[in-house]
Structure formats: structure tokens, C-alpha cells
Amino acid sequence: MADSEAPSIAQNPDIRYLGKLLGDVIRAYGGDALFRRIEYIRSASVDRARGVEGEIDSGLEALGLDDMLAFTRGFMLFSMLANLAEDRQGVAADPEADLAAAIARVGDKQTVAALLDKGLIVPVLTAHPTEVRRKSMIDHRNHIADLMRLRDTGATVTPDGDVIEEALIRQIALLWQTRPLRREKLVVADEVGTALSYLRDIFLPVMPALYAQWERLLGARPKSFLRAGSWIGGDRDGNPFVTADSLRLALGQSAEAVLSHYCDLLHALGAELSISTELAAVTPEVEALADKAHDESPARSDEPYRRAITGIYARTAATYQTLTGKAPSRPAAISAEPYRKPSELRADLVAIAHALAAGGGATLASGGALGRLIRAVETFGFHLATLDLRQNSDVHERVVAELLKEAGVDGDYAALDEEARVALLRKELASPRPLKSPHIAYSDETRSELEIVDAAAEAHRRYGAQAITTYIISKTATLSDLLEVDILLKEAGLFRPGTPPTADIMVVPLFETIEDLEHGPAIMSAYFALPEVAARVSVRGHQEVMVGYSDSNKDGGYLTSVWSLNEASRALKPVFEAAGTSMQLFHGRGGAVGRGGGSAFAAIAAQPQGTVEGRIRITEQGEVIAAKYGTRQAASVNLEAIVAATVVTSLAPVRTRDEEHFHIAMRTLSKTAFRSYRGLVYETEGFRRFFRQFTPIEEIAGLKIGSRPASRTKSDAIEDLRAIPWVFSWAQTRVMLPGWYGTGAAFATFGDIGLLRSMAAEWPFFQTTLANLEMVLAKSDMAIADHYLALVEPQYRPIFDGIRDGWHQARDCLLTITGQSRLLERTPSLDASVRLRLPYIEPLNLLQIELIRRHRAGESDPRIAEGIQLSINAIATALRNSG
């Protein structure tokens, strides 16, 4: 914020420039005295980071509560602007993360084009609550990014006539004066609206543009393999506020957004295609479209393309009216019948493209607004983003048990063993008889679940089959868990008995604990062994399995989690080969390393050979969504990275000489790490109390950052706590325990350092595992964490000694394996990024501790609670991938 910055800041002129503007804003709007106090703390903290002796406590102690809030906002905004500057320079980007590099690595465009033509790559937006910033803050941040891009061109004035630097100061001043915290808890409708803003403003324009670029690169036009997905409005696991109404809201608003977009593009296309029959021939198909429009305007009598577009626009506008119940913002000039499905709209547009091509205008046919619109309709349909359904298997068991009981089926389903359950479910699935009756009053839970599948069937009728394609089952542990969902789908007509039976929605198991991942291959083998399932899967050609990073990590620790996911993926491959169907893995990753975070390109590239094959889905959640898809430029880079990684992993995987030997070593490491992690988290007496006193978990639960409760039950057990607040709270204290604990014990007791070094040099899986481990160790700070012991009762404090020893052991072992003298020595850009933030996080941690101490002591000043939540916000912003 001042002119004399740490060397790492000076290396990035954007950070230096934006920091200076922020300092000017604080001085102008907060006063010179506040600026000097903040600057004193900042300078002292920077000096400490450089190794200069000094104390920052005296500066913090001099702050009153109002100044504490202002100070915290200032440091939070600096971190936000630093993130923006780094994103612009692609600090975390992989130089190979584009399709051109992937094609060069594969060596054959045709092979890549063929893979993508039958592939499916889907980033899936979820509402998992780790994004602490209000959307207003993110919007201002994006305006600053746009202005900085304009400044890059050498311009000094915006197209609207504003001086760019003044416009930047204006946006930073708005940030300074925008309330960072939400006053009200988010509801599902808020989350739907936030996701929709990304889908509408980013994905809709960016993906067709990327396709056009890839078509030129490939020399071919693949099918729409890259699509958008969402859980928001359909993910009911542990969220009682997601209902059939939420599902309708999400789908209805998505349809409104995408059809409005089509109307806008058609309007622009009508203005563009001014071709006259006096100067160009036209095909009978376009003549037919033009005649069908009944556009009697004399001005367009010799312009069949415009008349055809008038008709297409009228049908699209009628579709908008039918699906949304509203009139479009620009009414149609004529009345027309709505399109029944997206393929009808696409067929009309393709007819125009073919006519343009027949007239010698290949450029007119394939590019511009028409090409983008055809691609958009293929990719987004009338639904915009495919919405997944998700619910916990325990809920399905209770609902099916009630349906069977009320239908008079003999026996108590819940009391049956697994073999008897499967036999009963298969019998019911073979029968056309429904179980539900309109004359029975079901429990609220059962009624709600039946309403969901009915709403899904309605969505298929209204928006098309792509609106909802999968139903994910959390906590899948048995074969009956899969068949129970088919029972529910059958009640809505989405599953139909027959030879073979047919299903409009694919049932997808989610294996998320260590035990579930181990049992997953056996469950899928039993599933495929059912003749009626084998026939259905054969027709579809693929089956999806979801693997969960968050809960497996909370269950078994970082090293065991990543290895269990790898082993489960490899073990599933022969099961799918034996079934003669393609495997589609859905990776439930989060932002933090403890939840599968890190480089998406590296993560995909490190997948076991033969487990991707052009098909992959990945969750994008929390603060990661804003970071990766907050601007069109960022979205283009990240979407292409996912595609490039999928191509490389599918067609040019790195082969290691001694992979089976490496696997044996990883099994040993995993077992040791598992024992170490479980010993601390689940077997150490008093750990639960230590965790809740040491971290701001209770204060995080008060943040209004999501519609879903922090725990699945009212229990305070670690097992019942959701993985997100578990990881998020450890990040706040700078311990980052879920991202590393247990690795030190595993490496230290392994004994063969030469083998570990060979694994690090030759094996992409181990390289990615160590890279993410190194990043999280670098972001940890045991000296800062030590201050949080002031919040802990004396009898629990020795637990921290073991954690601190484990961190030092993990760091020392990692440095030995990688041959470095310090963390991030070989990744200077990431090292500079982490070091830049350290001086700005330490004062925030110290303030947070003091405010939590006062809050837990019973002080009632509302500014204390606000300060705690602001500090949580600021620390998360500085750490970036904290949840």
C-alpha cells in the first residue's frame, strides 16, 4: 500500500500499482491517521517477514474496534487485488495447459478430434460454502480486471470517456465502501442466482468462442464435448432447504437466461444477414423458412435470410414464453409456434448455414454470430447447465421402506439383509405397478423426495433430457443403494420396466470414505452382473462413478485419501472393461488441498492410465468458481486447461518404468499415514474439544456463506462435521492439518529414500501429490498457529505439540525427497505468491485471536463478532484455496 514494498511485490508491477491506489483510497476515505496506523502495521509485518527484528503487536494494540474493522478490510482488499494481479499474469498456469500443446504432445490432430467427438468434459458448479465474499465485491473486482486489461493496450481513457486510472480509483473506492459481509444467511435462491450469473455472463459467451478456436486448430468440428453442469438447486444431501421448488427455480431461471441469450443473438443475426436475392441465390430450405415466417414487410421482400430469421426469432420467443411464463424483452414481430426441443431450433439454423455455404460463403456459414449460435444451442440446449440430483443413501432407504410398507409389500424392508433387499428391489423394478398412492399420507421426508423425482420428470418434458441426466447417491455402500434410486425414478416414470428396462436418468454412486472407496469396485461389479442393468448400460454405452475427495480426506488424511482415490479408479477400470462399457469418473474436488484442490491440469494429468478416456466431470466450488471463472479471460484459460489435460491423459499418458513397485510403496506409505492421522483425530483423548477451542469452527458456522448446515446432525463429533468447515477452520489457524498430517510419519518410517526420490522424479501421481503437499506446508505457519493456544484450555494444549512436530517432520521429509533446501525452492512464482501474502496474514491472525478471546469471554459489542467474521473473510481471501 506504500511505495516501499517487499521485493516480492516489486516483482509484480500490477500488485505495486494497485496497492498504491488502495493506499490512496484508504487515506482519502479513511483519513490520514487510519492510513498511518495501517501502514505501520503493514511495514512492521513486512520487516518481520524479511527477518528484520520488530513487533507488530504494539500497532495492533493501538487499534480501537472501529479501526480494527477498517484495518481488516484494508488487508483483505490488498489480498483481493494481489490475487487479481497474479491471475492476470497466470502465476498458477501450466505452460502445457492448452489444446495446441496437447495436440503437439499427442502428435495427431485426427486422433484428438476423434477423442473429443465422443468425449464429455463437464465442470460442475456447486454451492459448497467456501466463498466468503459477497457477489458485489466480486463484481467490483471484475470491473478492475477489465480496466487493467484496457490499460494493458496502452489506452488511458475508456470507451465511455473515463480516465482509466480515475475509473480504477473509483472501483477501489467502491470496494472500500462496500459491506464485505452478508447480513442475511444465504438461501438456495441466492445460490441459484449467483451460479446463474457465471453461467449467463461467462460460460454462455466463452464456450462457443473456445469451440470456434478449437475447430480451427483441429481442422474439424467435434460434437459439443465440453458442457456446463450444476448441483445448485438439486443437491439435497444434508440440505433440507433444497426442494422440488428449488429444482424448478434453478431450471426455470436457467431456461430464461439461455433463451434470452438466443433471442439476442438472433436479433443480431437478423441485422447481419442482409443478403438479397438480387445478388445471391438461396436454397429451397431457406425459402421455405422465409415463407413460413409470413413476414410481409416490403423492405425484406428480397431478403429471405432476414425473413427466415424473423420466423426463427418468433418461434424462439414463443419458446421463451412457454417455458418461463414471461414475454421476452423484445417481442416478436409475428406469432409462431414454440420449438418443442433444441434440435428443432438447431435444424433451422443449420439450414441457413448450409444455404450460405452453398452460395460460396463458407466464412459466412461457419463463423460469426450464426456459428456461435449453432454451437450454443448444441451445448446449452434450453436448459443452460445440466443439473444433477444428489441425496444421501440413508434417506433413500427410509423412503423406499415407507413406500413398500404403505403399498402392502410383505416384510420390513429396513430389517432385511442385503441379499433379500436386492431381490425385493429387482422384483419391484420388473413390475409396472407403482408403489405410491394419492390416497396415502406419507411422511414429510417421503413426500419431499417423491416431489423431487416428479419435478425431474416435468423438467425432462419441458427442457429436454439434458436438463437432468444423473442422480448421485452420497454414502453409497451397497448394491441396494443403487436400486433404491431406480425405485424412486420408476414412481415418476423416469425408469420403465421392460426388456431391457429403460431409464432417463443415470444412477451414480458416490464413494467417499476410505472404506467406501475400497468397496466401490465390488459394488459396481455386482451392479453390472444384474442382467437388466447390463442391458441398460450397454445401450447407454457408459456409466458414471463419483469419487469424493473431501470426506475421504477427513476420514483418512491427505496421503491415504489421494492414494485410495487412485487405487479405486484403477480397480474400477477392469470392472468396466469386463462389463463392456466406458467408465466416466466424476471427481468431487474442492479448493483446498485437503479437499482435492490444486492445479486441475496436474490433477487430471496424474490420473491412472486408462481411467479418463475423454470423459470426466469435476466439481468447481466456493472461492474456486470466482477465481477460475470470474472473468471471461480466466474462464477461457481454465476451461482449455481441463480439456488439454483430458486429451493428454487419455492419449499421451506418462508411463513409468516401475509403476507396480511404486504402488507397493504407496500402499505402505498410505497405511502408516492412515494410522498416524486416525490416531490424532479420532483416537486422541480430548481432540474434539481441542479442535473446537483452537479453531474458529463455531464462528465459521455463524458466517452467512451457504444455505446448508455445517454439520449433518446436531452432534459435535468430527465424523458428523462436514468436510468443508473442517478444512476451512484449520486453514484459518494456519495449521492446514487436513492437507498434510500423517505424511511425515509415513515418509520418515518408510526407510528407502532412494525409492521415494525415484517416485518423485518419474511418477506423475506422486509428483502431483508432493506438489500439493508442498504448497499447503508453505502456507502453514506453526509460529502463528502457536498463538491460537491462548484460546485452548491448558489440559488440551499438548495436542498441539504433536501437530507441530508432525509438520516439521513432513517438511523435512519432503525437502529430503525433493532435494530442496527450502519449501517451493523450485517453483519461484508460487514461492513469491505465498511469501507476498505472509506479512498480510499474520496481523489478521493475531487480531482474530484477540477478537475470538473477547467474544468467547462474553463481550457483547457487535463489532467484535463483525470483526471475527471480517478476519475470517480476509484470511480466506489471502490464502485463496482455503476451503
Which residues contact residue 821 at a Cβ distance below 8 angstroms, ignoring those fewer than 6 apart? 815
825 touches 835 (CB < 8 A): no
Q: What letters, b where the CB count within 10 A reaches 16 and e where it falls short, cover 691-729?
A: bbbbbbbbbbeebbbbbbebbbeeeeeeeebbbbbbbbb
Q: Known catalytic residue: 128?
A: yes
How confident is the model over 438-494, as pLDDT tens digits? 999 999 999 999 999 999 999 999 999 999 999 999 999 999 999 999 999 999 999
**Residue 802 burial by CB count (10 A; 0-12/13-18/19+): exposed, middle or buried?**
middle
Which residues contact residue 605 at a Cβ distance below 8 angstroms, ignoring those fewer than 6 apart? 645, 648, 649, 654, 764, 768
Which pTM was predicted?
A: 0.90
Per-residue pLDDT, 629: 87
Peptide bond connecting 521 to the previous residue in cis, omega within 30 degrees of 0: no
| Domains of the chain with CATH codes | 255-380 (1.20.1440.90), 399-621 (3.20.20), 659-879 (no CATH)
- How far from 348 is each of 267, 283, 524, 576, CA to CA, in Å? 15, 13, 42, 39
Q: Known catalytic residue: 661?
A: no
Taking the C-alpha atoms of residue 731 and residue 776, their distance in angstroms, rounded to an integer, is 9
What is the grid cell recorded at 876?
A: 480466506
Above 90 in pLDDT, residue 809?
yes
588 phi and psi angles, rounded to 5 deg? -85, 80
Band the pLDDT of 802: cuts 50, 70, 90.
very high
Mean pLDDT of the chain: 89
**Residue whose C-alpha is closest to residue 709's, from 127, 199, 176:** 127
Band the pLDDT of 499: cuts 50, 70, 90.
confident
What is the grid cell recorded at 243?
A: 426442494
Band the pLDDT of 9: cuts 50, 70, 90.
very low
Catalytic residue among 128, 140, 587, 628: 128
How confident is the model over 695-732, as pLDDT tens digits? 999 887 665 444 445 445 556 778 878 777 888 899 99
Catalytic residue among 140, 396, 475, 554: 554
Above 90 in pLDDT, residue 386?
yes
How confident is the model over 740-775, as pLDDT tens digits? 999 999 999 998 999 999 999 999 999 999 999 999
Above 50 in pLDDT, residue 595?
no
Q: In this structure, which amino acid lies at residue 109? A: K
Give percent of the chain with pLDDT exceeding 70: 92
Place of cell 509484480: 12
Place of cell 504494539: 58
Give percent of the chain with pLDDT exceeding 90: 68
Band the pLDDT of 245: cuts 50, 70, 90.
very high
Per-residue pLDDT, 307: 93
Element (H, E) at 124: strand 120-126
- How far from 797 is each of 55, 680, 683, 698, 787, CA to CA, in Å? 25, 13, 16, 19, 11
